Structure 1
Amino acid sequence: MILFCRAAFWIAVYLALVLVPLFALLIGPRPAGSGFWWDLSLALGFAGTTMMAVMFFLTARFQRATAPFGIDLVYYFHRWISLGAALFVVLHPVLFVVQDSYALHMFHPAVMGWELWSGVGSALALAAIMVTSLWRKPLRIHYDAWRVWHALLAVIALALALVHIAGIGYYSGEPWKKGLWLVIGLSCVAVVVYVRLIKPTAMLKRPWRVTEVIEERGSTWTLVLRPEHHAGFLFLPGQFAWLTLERSPFAMKEHPFSIASSAENPLELRFTIKELGDFTRRIGQIKRGTKAWIDGPYGTFSIDRMQAPGYVFVAGGVGIAPIMSMLRTLDERGDKRPLQLFYAYHTWERLTFREELEELRGRLDLDIVYVLNDPPSDWEGETGYLTEDIFARHLCAGRSQLECFICGPTPMIEVAEKSLAHQGVPRGQIHSELFDLV
């Protein structure tokens, strides 16, 4: 109930930040020549601008605000609500032209004033954000370069939108209304200063050091890190953090990874990382002694937040990492509750943590169901992809009381969520880690 109240509070805060400025602009005299479509167009422009401004707060990783939801869900919300803001910005000038085709001549480059140029520039910057974010991988834009340009374009889009509003002056010409937009702009500047200057400065005082680089099965590596001259931090099993290696925390080179180690030992963090993308492709080349910086912990994907008489885990590929954190923690605590793991992978030979999982099965009350897409010739277990039939054959009894945790590729997550629900697990007890944030 407390978690629900906190979530409701932050949702109300978001709606207030987006809508209150919009309604505040209606106070006072209405400008001449306004009508329904004119006012609707202006409202969409104002709403799109305030939504852009709130994006700065959504991605600032304020732990108190993200805790009720999980920062992965906050980032997904940011992704989709950005499309809404972009739609509002596009409809803003379109409605002008629809209700008065003569207004189209105002957008001719020969007659456009600086206030319209700033609006067009803001829309183009926002369009660039949408294109490079939604199609970053097909366009082969390096993740680190994308992050820098994403931040710069966001600042440009908002700044030009505020200039556009101030220049047009409709519903915003009065001094206090201009002051309102100024406060909105300065608040976003304050967030940028906090995220890019204040927070990295604090991280400089809490460095970490890579003490081991362990090669795992399946082109996967585990980095073992220990705090340097500080006590580390407490985290919940299954949470994740942003990791910066070799660069300073000011460099915008951090990457999110699940913590794979036991939460019972805050003086050692393990990140198990598969060679997949721009940064991870060379993860095995990291040297012992490399300095690191960690921003975390984040996430709600944890057994410690969901007490139950037993747990079901579903992992695909490197999605085993946060689940290993939970299993290792349960092992160190001597937990005797029944556990079940469905682990989907391509081959037996490359299955990450194969040996350790067998050891954990001997110490925990752990049942493991392996599902191999390309099994060896003598394999007698489940084959192919994870399906509802596999859950129907193996899912343990008392499923309506169990909490289920799923991490892996998005198609596997979707299948697992539907299958578990069909097998009698309440939807509210199915938790997924959405680790593909961008």
Structure 2
Amino acid sequence: MTRVMRSGRTWLAACAVIIAAMPWIAAIDHDHRGRSFLLETSIALGFMGLAMMWLQFALTARFRWIAPGTGLDTLMQLHRQAGISAFGLIAAHPVLAIAARPGFVDFFDPRASLARALALWLVSLALIAILTSSLWRRRFGIPYEWWRLAHAVLAVLIAAIGLVHVLRVGFYTDAAWKQALWTVCTAAAVGLVLHTRVVRPWLSSRRPYRVVSVTREPGTSWTLELEPVGHPGLRFQAGQFAWLTLGDRPWSLQQHPFSFASSAERPGRIAFTVKELGDWTAGIGKVQPGTRAFLDGPYGAFTVDPAARTIVGIAGGVGITPLMSILRTARDRGDTRQFALLYAAGSLDSMVYREELETLRNQLPLDLMLLPREAPPGWDGPSGLPTAETIDALVDRYGTGGTAYLICGPPPLMDLAERRLLARGVPARAIRAERFDIA
């Protein structure tokens, strides 16, 4: 087991311990007599759901020590699944409590207590809103920037009302030290929002950048090149990403994660290639040189294992971006390891960096395999969609021992590649994937 896998499992185990410990801490020095098992279960689930909510703030706080070695894809998928689980735990709490004692339905009756009922109805609606908007944001047509803001506001609201509910009911938190524990934990979780939305932009404001060029790429992609203003630039590993903000100030809703496209050996000239996908990115080609920019990063673990003897990239569409950074960095470092790249796209003309990739083939030990979905006239190479046989051919050629596989592209390609690589005996630790559809 690699250090990355060990650290990741250790972090997950710590989260599980924190979640499971909350009902046990609440039960310390408390008399349970006369209370049914169903009622006690509902309360335990409520405490666990609140603890899981706290951890959601930590997962999105951009601390590198949280799940170290975990890519953006994995971390955000974990956040999504944990968020769904937290919703289930919190929702089960009132349902089971009312089933155990029907009189608890009065908690939602404004005639019994207007403030309490309004708070519980508000948190219930907030839970539904945060879940549905996260799962079906695109279907509802919610812009990414406003979804991020609403997501944070709703999460803070849920955590705050959850704390007030715990303290007001007070049956398990009558001791002062328990009240202090729950208050501090909730305050710390909410404080992480301020850290992400206020402190991190302030730190990035001290190291600004300037857009020096905006170049049209094949298809609907654009490459932005930035240079540092008053500092030497940002050190990153090839394959990582940063949060990019354009404008005079870093405190903006328009903050998006993009993979570095440039060489890690050239921190004074940083490039991002962005595809027009709607919302903010639809206007990326209109950005003017000289525009001020801010970066928060680097993040991510979509990087090359130093111990790998062979590196195989599988890219689709704009998923070529982080792999391009890896290849450019390898060229600049004089890396002599074997590289291979399968690049699938709609057509040859829509392949970003195609000409440079052809040049890199002569500068690196690089096997380049272009796979256009539609073959142009005179094309004698393969064409069509990637298939299981396509991935199998890579494994047959490059093997499962000492080979690192890096996958980035549309979900169907990534799902296919990950399944086939694992089925063919490639160790999970040798596969790294980064998805661009996390929001």
Give the TM-score normalised by the residue count of structure 1.
0.95
Q: Match for 1:361: what amino acid?
A: R
CA distance in 1, matches of 2:200, 2:321: 27
Given the superposition, is the C-alpha separation of residues 269 and 66 from structure 1 closer, same or farther in structure 2, using an over 3 Å criterion?
farther
Mapped partners of 2:23, 2:104: distance in 1? 24
Distance in 1 (alpha carbons) for counterparts of 2:428 and 2:17: 30
**2:349 corresponding residue in structure 1:** 349
Question: How far off is 1:394 after superposition?
Answer: 5.4
Instruction: Write out aligned runs for 1:175-254 (5 A).
Output: 175-254=176-255
Q: 1:332: which partner in 2? A: 332
Instruction: Please say if residues 347 and 374 of structure 1, whose CA atoms lie closer than 8 Å, have aligned partners that are also in contact.
Output: yes
What one-letter code is carried by the residue in structure 2 that aligns with 1:379?
W
What whole-Å deviation, never above 9, does each CA across 1:193-245 have from its counterpart, x for those lacking one? 32222222211111011111111111111101111111212111111110001
Q: Is the 8 A contact 1:243 1:293 kept in 2?
A: yes
1:362 aligns with 2:358: no
Aligned with 2:379: secondary structure?
Answer: coil
Superposed, which structure 2 residues align to 1:19-30 within 5 Å?
A: 19-30=20-31
Give a deviation string over 1:160-206, Cα, whole Å, max 9, x none.
Answer: 11111111112112222211111112212332232222222211111
1:213, 1:69 → 2: CA distance? 31
Q: Deviations over 1:54-110 (max 9, x none)?
A: 211111000122432223312211111111110111111111222234443553332
Tell me which residue corresponds to 1:313: 313
Asked whether the equivalents of residues 214 and 285 of structure 2 are also in contact (C-alpha less than 8 Å), the reply is yes
C-alpha separation between the residues in 1 aligned to 2:369 and 2:218? Answer: 18
Secondary structure of the residue aligned to 1:282 is helix
Rounded to whole Å, the distance in 2 between the matches of 1:306 and 1:43 is 45
Counterpart of 1:343, as a letter, is: Y
Which residue number in structure 2 is paired with residue 155 of structure 1? 156
The offset of 1:265, in angstroms, is 1.1
Q: Which residue of 1 aligns with 2:143?
A: 142
CA distance in 1, matches of 2:326, 2:315: 12
Q: Is the 8 A contact 2:110 2:117 kept in 1?
A: no
* Correspondence for 1:388: 388
C-alpha separation between the residues in 1 aligned to 2:418 and 2:362? 28
Distance 1:172 1:33 in 2: 18
Contact 2:69–2:300 under 8 Å retained in 1: no
Q: Is the 8 A contact 1:115 1:167 kept in 2?
A: no
Determine the structure 1 residue equivalent to 2:112.
111
> Which residue does the alignment assign to 2:261?
260
| 1:174 aligned residue | 175
**Deviates further, 222-231 or 333-342:** 333-342
CA gap of 1:422–1:198, structure 2 versus 1, over 3 A, is closer
Matched with 1:415 is 416
What is the match of residue 14 of structure 1?
Answer: 15
Alpha-carbon offset, residue 116 of structure 1: 4.4
Deviates more, 1:376-385 or 1:323-332: 376-385
Give the CA deviation at 1:120.
3.0
Question: Is the Cα contact below 8 Å between 2:244 and 2:257 reproduced in 1?
Answer: yes
Instruction: Give, as a single letter, the amino acid of the residue that structure 2 aligns with 1:152.
Output: V
Secondary structure of 1:279 counterpart: helix
Q: Does 1:165 align with 2:166?
A: yes
Checking the alignment, whether the CA contact within 8 Å between 2:201 and 2:251 is kept in structure 1 is: yes
Question: In structure 2, the residue corresponding to 1:403 is in which secondary structure?
Answer: strand
Query: Which runs of no fewer than 5 residues in structure 2 stay unpaired?
Result: none
- The alignment partner of 2:245 has SS state of strand
1:399 and 2:426 are equivalent in the alignment? no
Gaps in structure 1 of 5+ consecutive residues: none
Compare 20-29 and 408-417 and name the one that shifted more: 20-29
Structure 1 range deviating more: 84-93 or 420-429:
420-429
- Distance in 2 (CA, whole Å) between partners of 1:433 and 1:191 is 25
AA partner of residue 339 (structure 1): F
Aligned to 2:47: 46
Q: Is the 8 A contact 2:36 2:100 kept in 1?
A: no
Give 1:38's aligned amino acid: L
Count of equivalent residues: 437
Query: CA, structure 1 residues 192+417, in 2 after alignment: closer, same or farther (shift >3 Å)?
Result: closer
Task: Please give the secondary structure, in 1, of the residue aligned with 2:296.
Answer: strand
- Deviation readout 1:234-267 (Å, 9 max, x if unpaired): 1111111100011522223210000011111111
Structure 1 match to 2:289: 288
Q: Percent identity?
A: 38
Give the aligned partner of residue 96 of structure 2.
Answer: 95
Q: In 1, are the aligned partners of 2:72 and 2:434 still within 8 Å (CA)? A: no
The structural deviation recorded for 1:407 is 0.2
- Residue pair 1:31, 1:170 contacting (<8 A) in 2 also: no
Secondary structure of the corresponding residue to residue 386 of structure 2: coil
Q: In structure 2, what is the Cα distance between the partners aligned to 1:62 and 1:45?
A: 27
SS at match of 1:138: helix
Q: For residues 15 and 155 of structure 2, what CA distance do their matches in structure 1 show?
A: 19
Which residue number corresponds to residue 71 of structure 1?
A: 72
**Superposed CA offset, 1:333-382 (max 9, x none):** 12222221111100112211111111111111211111111221322222
- Contact residue 210 and residue 226 of structure 2 kept, 8 A: yes
**Would you say the 8 A contact 1:382–1:390 is kept in 2?**
no
Measure the CA separation in 2 of the matches of 1:67 and 1:226: 29
More displaced stretch, 33-42 vs 418-427: 418-427
